[in-house]
A and B are shown apart, each in its own frame.
Chain A
Amino acid sequence: MPEHDRQREQLPTSSDEQPHFGSIETPSIFLADAEGTTVEKSGAYAAPDGSGPQDKPRGAWAEAWRELSRSPRFYISGVILLLLLTMAFFPGWFTDQDPRFCPIADSNMEASSAHWFGTNQQGCDIYSRTIYGARASIIVGIATTAIIVLLGGVVGAISGYFGGWIDSVLARVTDVFFGIPLLLAALVFMSAFEERSVWTVVAALGAFGWMQIARIMRGSVITVKSADYVVAAKALGAGTRRILLRHVLPNAIAPVIVVATISLGTFIATEATLSFLGIGLPASEISWGADISSATTVIRDQPSQLFYPSLFLSVTVLSFILLGDAVRDALDPKLR
């Protein structure tokens, strides 16, 4: 049987476990004797032959990066988001016009070489306002998502992993927050502040937006914590910290990433809604939401005023969702 020996344990995908011993094919009561069955001789695995170029040792993150670099979704969303981020932090690179310079004489102009997207009712340049508006939206989106992932993730993970009365208390608290509509809560929260800034909006949305993440994390952790590999880690003597961080969270995080990226979009949209309602960012701040709001008054005469900020908003939200999708796939070795 030496050929069989060599065949075994080459590449995982190869047919290394063909039934190559006759004695067990007729179901005998007792396992066939050692000779007929197998193969525990030295050098049972194949010499390192089947290892092609793709067999180089690689870390988990390098592996994820390699996977990402092959995903068109990642490139499309990555390029757009990079552009938007540059826009958010260096708006001066894209336009030399001042978005706050609004000569009323230029009111409601059509697109021209001087004003690419035209001007709004006050006579401000829409192109530069759209560029400058990226900052507020992107900060609100990213910062709020960071907060809800942290807050909701911690609450959900603790609730799911420890269970018992901790779970009951946290679940009820989550339910209470769930009962309050996000927009209403944010309205009330915002109206309590005289001085509003981007960070007030972030705080308002973060404080009332974490419950969905908490619930998803809780369910996900409950599923994962009973898995055999968690029991195996316990049997090895791993502490709670290690089990949570190394075994439970990495396997429970995927749905959270997806929901978080989708919520990122909705937070940007909610910020726009708040600004639209006039309770979000102050008028001195430029944001897509406020611009969409002011554009509605002229929607029949000049729909382009509404179109440009809305387009940027939609593209941003879509890019974040695409990126989240690609990252989730790359982080999951099972999908490779």
Chain B
Amino acid sequence: MTTAAEPILQVQNLVKHFPLTQGILFQKQIGAVKAVDGVNFELTQGETLGLVGESGCGKSTVAKLLMNLERATAGQVRYKGEDISKVSGKALRSVRRNIQMVFQDPYTSLNPRMTVADIIGEPYAIHPEAAPKGSAKHRVQELLELVGLNPEHINRYPHQFSGGQRQRIGIARGLALNPEIIICDEPVSALDVSVQAQVINLMEKLQGEFGLSYVFIAHDLSIVRHISDRVAVMYLGKIVEIGTETEIYDHPTHPYTQALLSAVPVPDPAARQHRERIILTGDVPSPANPPSGCRFRTRCWKAQEICAQEEPLLQIRTGLQGHAVHASACHFAEEKDIVHSH
């Protein structure tokens, strides 16, 4: 699905620092939580970019920054070449028509006091230009049908639906304005495993139908592999490795990626015996005070002097071959086939 076309979304050096303040009346800044600290990636039309990483690595903050729900401290988010990270007012409204979001928890992302008609119809109430007058109800029913729900249920309340159905409602709301990009912030992690697959497949179907681009945030590596064309691995506010799905999963070069992949459950008990598990020691360092140089060095088995002094850039490393040739932020990037190592 990946094409060499012009990227629809370019993220350049995106930074978000949350100030840490002290004092009640006269607040002074005593530091900052570096939630996102220089993230770069591109998204092309019709592509799915998976964003993985453990809790607290800044994945959701990236989503909020892309949605302009938080203001970036620095850096740019370019939608079709235009920086959208600083727009406001009318321009922001038009950006919102093109970039929408699907939330993690379908139990909290739908207003319990609004009917499905109101929830999915709200985009049209906010953007009256998106639907000709009087057609909003009809559009809502079309959307319900599109996501596999009964269009007759438009006067029901969210609590009358199951988790999977609610997430479908959330997806229908995201689709209402015909956006080109949908940011999915862990859209299935609150659902049962069986329902996860249904929702994922619905999202793939919709992508094919409308040429949507997804930024798919998750911590479930299996799901990310299933849906993504390319995958970016985040650690402590930075992308440590980015590449196509095959490059990341079958030919990981960054030690953190390798450690993550080694934690994926293997179904075959015989194979499980033979595979090497990389167990990381220690906790994730505080994003308010990240380690110098490489942020992963405190937990990395390869760490050496240079890792503390020089920050490894996210770039294609020399000395690698085949699928291992992709951007990796490690001084000692080296392919290690984790998934098939048996």
Q: With a CB–CB cut-off of 8 A, which chain A residues contact B111?
A: 229, 233, 246-247, 250-251
Cα distance A235–B177 in the bound complex, in angstroms:
12
The SS class assigned to the B binding surface is helix
Q: A232 and B194: CB pair below 8 A?
A: no
Q: B112 and A27: CB pair below 8 A?
A: no
Q: A60 and B113: CB pair below 8 A?
A: yes
Q: With a CB–CB cut-off of 8 A, which chain B residues contact A29?
A: 221-222, 225, 264-267, 339
Query: How extensive is the interface on chain B, given as a class?
Result: 35 or more
- In chain A, positions 117-145 with a C-beta closer than 8 Å to chain B are none
Cα distance A31–B264 in the bound complex, in angstroms:
12
Q: Which of B105, B115, B153, B177 has the most CB of A within 10 A?
A: B153
Residue on A nearest B144 in the bound complex, by CB? A45
Q: A57 and B154: CB pair below 8 A?
A: yes
Residue on B nearest A253 in the bound complex, by CB? B113
Q: B150 and A46: CB pair below 8 A?
A: yes
- In chain A, positions 222-256 with a C-beta closer than 8 Å to chain B are 227-229, 231-239, 242, 246-247, 250-251
Q: A17 and B150: CB pair below 8 A?
A: no
Cα distance A27–B264 in the bound complex, in angstroms:
10
Q: B155 and A58: CB pair below 8 A?
A: yes
Number of A residues, CB within 8 Å of B:
55
- Select one of B194, B201, B205 contacting A18, CB under 8 A: B194
Q: With a CB–CB cut-off of 8 A, which chain B residues contact A46?
A: 150
Q: Mark B86-106, 1 if CB is under 8 A from A, else 0.
A: 000000110011001101110
Tell me, rounded to whole Å, the shortest Cβ–Cβ distance linking B272 to chain A: 11
- In chain B, positions 113-130 with a C-beta closer than 8 Å to chain A are 113-115, 122-123, 125-127
Q: A235 and B96: CB pair below 8 A?
A: yes
Q: Mark A175-199, 1 if CB is under 8 A from B, else 0.
A: 0000000000000000000000000
The A/B interface has a contact count, at CB < 8 Å, of 160
Q: Which of A17, A18, A59, A247 has the most CB of B within 10 A?
A: A17
- Select one of B160, B162, B223 contacting A16, CB under 8 A: B162
- Select one of B113, B163, B221 contacting A251, CB under 8 A: B113
Q: With a CB–CB cut-off of 8 A, which chain B residues contact A59?
A: 115, 155
A30 within 8 A of partner (CB)? yes
- In chain A, positions 154-175 with a C-beta closer than 8 Å to chain B are none
Q: With a CB–CB cut-off of 8 A, which chain A residues contact B74?
A: none
Known: A29-B339, A228-B103, A235-B96. A51 touches B152 (CB 8 A): yes
Q: Mark A21-35, 1 if CB is under 8 A from B, else 0.
A: 100101111111010
Q: B150 and A19: CB pair below 8 A?
A: no
Q: B165 and A9: CB pair below 8 A?
A: yes
Q: A229 and B194: CB pair below 8 A?
A: no
Cα distance A274–B8 in the bound complex, in angstroms:
70
- In chain B, positions 217-260 with a C-beta closer than 8 Å to chain A are 221-223, 225-226
B197 within 8 A of partner (CB)? yes
Cα distance A16–B168 in the bound complex, in angstroms:
13
Residue on B nearest A239 in the bound complex, by CB? B126
Q: B161 and A38: CB pair below 8 A?
A: no
B149 within 8 A of partner (CB)? yes
Q: B115 and A60: CB pair below 8 A?
A: yes
Q: B113 and A333: CB pair below 8 A?
A: yes
- Select one of B109, B152, B155, B223 contacting A31, CB under 8 A: B223
A53 within 8 A of partner (CB)? no
Q: B69 and A39: CB pair below 8 A?
A: no
Cα distance A17–B266 in the bound complex, in angstroms:
25
- Select one of B165, B192, B198 contacting A12, CB under 8 A: B165
Please list the residues of chain A having a beta carbon within 8 angstroms of any beta carbon in chain B.
8-10, 12-13, 16-21, 24, 26-32, 34, 37-40, 44-46, 48, 51, 55-60, 227-229, 231-239, 242, 246-247, 250-251, 332-334
**Cβ-closest 9 pairs across A and B:** A19-B194, A37-B197, A228-B109, A31-B226, A57-B155, A44-B148, A237-B96, A229-B111, A228-B108
Q: Could you jot down 10 A-B contacts, CB within 8 Å?
A: A10-B150, A26-B267, A40-B198, A57-B154, A229-B110, A229-B111, A229-B112, A231-B103, A236-B100, A237-B127
